[in-house]
Amino acid sequence: MASTTRLADSVPSDVLALCEDFARAGLCAYLCGGTARDLLLGIAPSDFDVAVAAPPTRVADVVGEKARSGYVREPDPRAERLGTTRLRHDRRVVEVTSFRAEGAYSDARHPDDVRFVTDIALDASRRDFTLNAIYIDPLTDQVVDPVEGCRDLVTRRLRVIGEAPARLEEDPLRVLRALRFTSTHDCVPDAACHAAILGAASRVASVSKPRVRDELEKTITGRGRGRALGLLVSTGVAAVTIDGLAELAEVPQPPEYHPEGDVLRHTALVLACLEEPVDPRLAWAAVFHDIGKRDTLEFAEDRIRFHGHDRISAARAHAWLSAHGVRRAFANDVTAIIEEHIRIAAVPGFRAARRARFLLDPLFPLHLAFHRADCLASHGKLDIHLALLELREALPPEKPAPLLSGKDLVAAGFRPGPAIGVLLRALEEARFEGAVTTRSEGMDFVQDFATRHSIPCPRAPKDSVEDRERPSRLDRDQIGGADESSRVRE
């Protein structure tokens, strides 16, 4: 029996209603770009781009004339001058691009002028890659393919429309988009595209850092990410985007731990071994986790070593991500994954309290996932990974609430300051080791610990922790702070 599945089955009803609005106005609204690619690949699109043979003024008229879809125009004069009209329906934004021909790109980002046209072939000819020039009429399921993008989608070939060198030179962002497509669609540039990437690679330095990061992040999280990283280096794009990455190909590793070879090859394999869907924090950690090995390479008597490369790599990652506009929390997570990627092998041997802290940390699933990929990309042994899983399963699903808080200790007579943190950490360690189970035992432990480590508490609490209703005031002039030497270290 023939399949009755239609491409439009994956299109939301409000988007179909918008296309019907255009149809009632005598216009065909085509889904194009990434939307069309996803539909043809059987993927439900997350974004919807529409192309019509009408200028922005006419698009505005359509959504303003008894439109039934509920979409409204969000005025953007600059975008509309270049042929893009933004429409909104609840939380969904659809960009409607008018068929157009474009002039030169003197700013290397936007065309100097556009001319609105009605010929779909002309509109296709101004696009960058054939994979971006496929049009689908969702009301009839008709596919319009002026430059044979469907064939390239099937054969996984990346092909530039028109003269490849000129198209990539006029907008250097297209170089990064080309690399992104090799990863997200697991395709290979044809000879002309590859040569054009090589020729325009140095111009990527002019692209804004947030855009560079955005394109690279899509590249290193796509399904062809491992191979795409190699292409990033071999084309020279890495040299102007991630300093020191290309040089990792020259850094050897001890074969008994890294039979795969040099550090760059290992880095690409770690990326490839990350489980789908790839968390961007893991992907960036993979790219940077060994970037400090070039600076720490040592040919010791027993084997090749890289003392301290984890700290250097983490610092380099944090600096790069911060400079390229990521949120601080994101950069901190990537840094933490890199800092712990060597030490995680020792976690099973930690004291119970320290081990529990690591296993119950919110980042532990990412630490574990990265360790797995790191091992698969080198020696292939997963014994520590399995041991960590067993240890985590033996713990409660969530970290238990603390027995005492800082307010409890202040009310007991301790001065606010670093000593409070020292006491609370020591208490939690004792709790994980089974030495303390109740709040009253916790306060007894804290008092004893403070006495043994010379942490001053000028008065003892009058009531038990359970009976105390409100904290007492402290005489700050009489209470001293904890000396740094009193901190407990593993």
Please give the pLDDT value at position 155. Answer: 95
Residues 211-268 have pLDDT tens digits of: 999 999 999 999 999 999 999 999 999 999 999 999 999 999 999 999 999 999 999 9
Counting Cβ atoms within 10 Å, is residue 215 exposed (0-12), middle (13-18) or buried (19+)?
buried
pLDDT per residue over 146-181, tens digit each? 999 999 999 999 999 999 999 999 899 999 999 999
Integer angstrom CA distances of residue 215 from 86, 271, 274, 392:
22, 16, 19, 36
Closest among 326, 342, 346 to 334, alpha carbons compared:
326
Q: Which residues contact 75 (CB under 8 A, 6 or more apart)?
A: none
- In the chain, the percentage of residues whose pLDDT exceeds 70 is 91
Helices (H) and strands (E) in the chain, counts: 22, 13
CA pair distance 198, 164, nearest whole angstrom: 11
3-state secondary structure of 100: strand
Which structural domains are found in the chain, ordered by start?
A: 7-155 (3.30.460.10), 157-241 (1.10.110.30), 251-399 (1.10.3210), 406-486 (no CATH)
Residue of 166, 257, 271, 149 lying closest to 221 (CA atoms): 271
Beta-carbon contacts of 475 under 8 Å, excluding residues fewer than 6 positions away, are 458
Percent of the chain topping pLDDT 90: 72
Q: What is the pLDDT of residues 105-139, one digit of tens each?
A: 776 677 777 899 999 999 999 999 999 999 999 99
> Which whole-number Å values give the CA distances from 134 to 29, 53, 69, 388, in the listed order?
13, 15, 24, 48
CA-only gyration radius of the chain, Å: 30
Q: Which of 296, 291, 299 has its CA nearest to residue 315?
A: 291
Give the residues across from 51 on adjacent strands: 30, 97
- Cα–Cα distance between 76 and 95 in angstroms, integer? 11
Closest CA to 461 of 476, 471, 450, 448: 471
Task: Write the pLDDT tens digit of every residue in 452-486.
Answer: 888 887 554 444 444 443 343 333 333 333 333 33
Question: Is the model more confident about 354 or about 202?
Answer: 202
Compute the 3-state secondary structure of the chain and give helix, strand, coil in percent, each to the nearest 5.
50, 10, 40
Cα dihedral 8, 131, 82, 64, rounded to 10, equals 0
pLDDT at 425: 86
State residue 482's pLDDT score. Answer: 37
pLDDT reported for residue 108: 64
Mean pLDDT on 175-204 = 96
Nearest to 242 by CA among 265, 270, 268, 209: 209
Virtual torsion, Cα 353, 358, 359, 361, nearest 10 deg: 120
- Cα four-point dihedral sign 312, 317, 323, 329: negative
- Cβ distance 250 to 288 under 8 Å? no
pLDDT of residue 65: 66
Distance CA 171, CA 219 (A): 18
Q: What is the H or E stretch that residue 14 is in?
A: helix 13-24
Strand order in the sheet with 135-137: 72-74, 84-89, 92-98, 49-52, 30-32, 135-137, 142-144
Q: pTM of the entire structure?
A: 0.82
Q: What's the pLDDT band for 353 if we cut at 50, 70, 90?
A: confident
| pLDDT tens-place string over residues 273-295 | 999 999 999 999 999 999 999 99
